[in-house]
């Protein structure tokens, strides 16, 4: 990923434009780090910011710790590869973003993903990663001196566990928790036999964990951690009209089109086709397009001319996604695990428009088999299905109930994972 990012000209310096020093700190903050040791338990969340779900999960768990155990924890959320890794490892984020955005990149990602699942390759890449980055990672971890380490990324198990062994004089003394943020399928890199607890979102990941040698007592099945706004959002489906009013929306059937935090996928083509189909129907409709960080697509959709019976609302990156999902009657989205779990919580039917090969493939049957959505890459077929659903309120209601049936598990997950963490540090 790092080599590819440099080749594409996405990033040409050793710190991916982060402006950080040897400890991964911006100069303005270096004097205040590490924080002074207090009675609070120190939690170190480790991730690579490849996709928004990993950091969102860490923030959600931190929020749950703050609510359930006020004043008991202080948390550090760290992109260990970008801030402390050496070239090319510190280029993974821009490399991943390119691969996720474009079709040819998706095929290259599929190759990378599949080869990473082969045991000899997994061992060799682990050895190389540790040799190149172990010293810098260890300096950071020793300086912070965590009471517990929580990984929310598949590439943050092997090297940190080796370092914690050394920090403990050959035997790890700091508890280690993996929180799997994939859903219907998952990379084998998530599952390390030496962790204390591995929190998985469901049966599929539990089976992979067992197959990779984890013991049943290590595996905790809680659902997928979600943002705080979704913890109680399952109770808001019946008050969708109030949420529409709060957001300044019209009280008409509404479809939400989105492509994740980075705004990936053919959103413009999907929006155009959905708008055309809805424009041919009688009555008024509404389409919300959340473009994330994709400013170019947002600008194009705002400039487009839409049928007179459709109210089109275009948003960039939003922090209140729970409100927009509650306001919608159905959603078109890529098959990201966090989005799918959040949709289930609010009882929102999903038309899936794409998935990243590898870890997202299993999310498609997860939605279809649980009865709250369908899948197509073709914008014309997507728009036909959307209009078919909106024309039949009973179909939408049935799918909404199916989504809610599994959503309750995800709504509880974040607090349950926080309790697992607290238990390991005797709180």
pLDDT reading at 17 higher than 70: no
pLDDT class of 264 with cuts at 50, 70, 90: low
The C-alpha atoms of residue 50 and residue 70 are separated, in whole angstroms, by: 30
The gap between the terminal CA atoms of the chain, to the nearest Å, is 40
Confidence (pLDDT) at 9 = 41
For residue range 146-199, list pLDDT tens digits in order.
Answer: 999 999 999 999 999 999 999 999 999 999 999 999 999 999 999 999 999 999
DSSP 233-273: GGGGGGGHHHHHHHTT--SS-EEEEE-TTTT-SSHHHHHHH
With a pLDDT cut of 90, the percent of the chain lying above it is: 70
> What is the separation of C-alpha 273 from the centre of its chain, rounded to a whole number of angstroms?
27
Integer CA distances (angstroms), 212 to 29, 113, 117, 160, 193, in order: 40, 17, 11, 19, 8
**256 vs 267: which has the higher pLDDT:** 256
Range in 109-123, 202-216, 341-355, 367-381 the model is least confident about: 109-123
For residue range 209-225, list pLDDT tens digits in order.
Answer: 999 999 999 999 999 99
The C-alpha atoms of residue 59 and residue 71 are separated, in whole angstroms, by: 16
Among residues 310, 299, 302, the alpha carbon closest in space to that of 253 is found at: 310
For residue range 373-424, list pLDDT tens digits in order.
Answer: 999 999 999 999 999 998 889 999 999 999 999 999 999 999 999 999 999 9
Confidence (pLDDT) at 60 = 96
**263 vs 395: which has the higher pLDDT:** 395
**What does pTM read for this prediction?**
0.88
With a pLDDT cut of 70, the percent of the chain lying above it is: 91
pLDDT reading at 20 higher than 70: no
The C-alpha atoms of residue 52 and residue 286 are separated, in whole angstroms, by: 27
Range in 73-82, 190-199, 289-298, 338-347 the model is least confident about: 289-298
φ, ψ at 154 (rounded to 5°): -65, -20
Token reading at 343: 């949709």
Among residues 331, 355, 354, the alpha carbon closest in space to that of 343 is found at: 331
Confidence (pLDDT) at 19 = 41
pLDDT reading at 26 higher than 60: no
DSSP code for 377:
S
342: three-class secondary structure by DSSP? helix
Reply yes or no: is the peptide bond before residue 88 cis, omega within 30 of 0: yes
Q: How crowded is residue 14: how many other Cβ atoms within 10 Å of its Cβ? A: 13
DSSP 47-80: E--SSHHHHHHHHHHHHHHHHHSTTTEEEEEEEH
Integer CA distances (angstroms), 12 to 50, 80, 86, in order: 18, 19, 13
Among residues 136, 129, 182, 132, the alpha carbon closest in space to that of 157 is found at: 129
Confidence (pLDDT) at 31 = 54
For residue range 280-312, list pLDDT tens digits in order.
Answer: 999 999 999 998 878 888 899 999 999 999 999
């Amino acid at each position: 990923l790092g080599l590819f990012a440099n080749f594409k000209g996405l990033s040409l310096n050793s710190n991916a434009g982060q402006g950080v020093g040897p400890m991964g700190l911006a100069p303005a903050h270096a004097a205040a780090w590490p924080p002074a040791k207090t009675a609070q338990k120190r939690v170190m969340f480790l991730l690579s910011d490849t996709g928004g779900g990993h950091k969102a999960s860490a923030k959600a768990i931190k929020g749950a710790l703050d609510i359930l155990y006020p004043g008991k924890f202080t948390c550090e959320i760290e992109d260990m590869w970008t801030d402390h890794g050496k070239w090319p490892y510190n280029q993974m984020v821009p490399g991943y973003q390119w691969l996720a955005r474009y079709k040819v990149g998706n095929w290259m990602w599929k190759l990378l993903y599949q080869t990473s699942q082969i045991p000899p390759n997994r061992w060799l890449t682990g050895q190389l990663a540790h040799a190149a980055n172990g010293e810098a990672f260890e300096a950071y971890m020793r300086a912070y001196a965590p009471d517990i380490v929580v990984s929310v990324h598949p590439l943050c198990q092997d090297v940190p566990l080796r370092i914690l062994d050394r920090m403990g004089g050959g035997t790890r003394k700091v508890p280690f928790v993996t929180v799997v943020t994939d859903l219907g399928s998952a990379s084998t890199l998530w599952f390390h036999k030496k962790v204390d607890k591995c929190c998985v979102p469901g049966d599929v990941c539990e089976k992979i964990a067992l197959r990779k040698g984890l013991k049943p007592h290590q595996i905790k099945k809680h659902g997928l951690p979600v943002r705080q706004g979704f913890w109680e959002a399952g109770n808001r489906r019946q008050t969708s009209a109030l949420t529409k009013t709060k957001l300044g929306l019209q009280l008409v059937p509404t479809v939400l089109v989105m492509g994740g935090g980075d705004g990936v996928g053919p959103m413009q083509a999907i929006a155009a086709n959905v708008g055309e189909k809805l424009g041919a129907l009688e009555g008024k409709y509404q389409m919300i397009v959340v473009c994330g960080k994709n400013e170019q697509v947002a600008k194009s959709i705002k400039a487009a001319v839409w049928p007179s019976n459709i109210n089109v609302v275009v948003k960039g990156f939003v922090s209140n996604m729970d409100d927009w999902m509650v306001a919608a009657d159905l959603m078109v989205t890529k098959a990201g695990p966090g989005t799918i779990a959040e949709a289930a919580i609010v009882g929102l039917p999903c038309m899936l428009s794409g998935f990243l090969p590898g870890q997202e493939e299993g999310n498609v049957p997860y939605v279809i088999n649980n009865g709250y959505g369908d899948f197509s890459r073709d914008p014309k077929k997507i728009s036909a299905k959307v209009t078919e659903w909106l024309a039949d309120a009973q179909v939408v209601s049935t799918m909404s109930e199916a989504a809610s049936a599994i959503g309750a598990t995800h709504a509880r997950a974040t607090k349950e994972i926080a309790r697992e963490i607290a238990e390991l540090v005797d709180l």
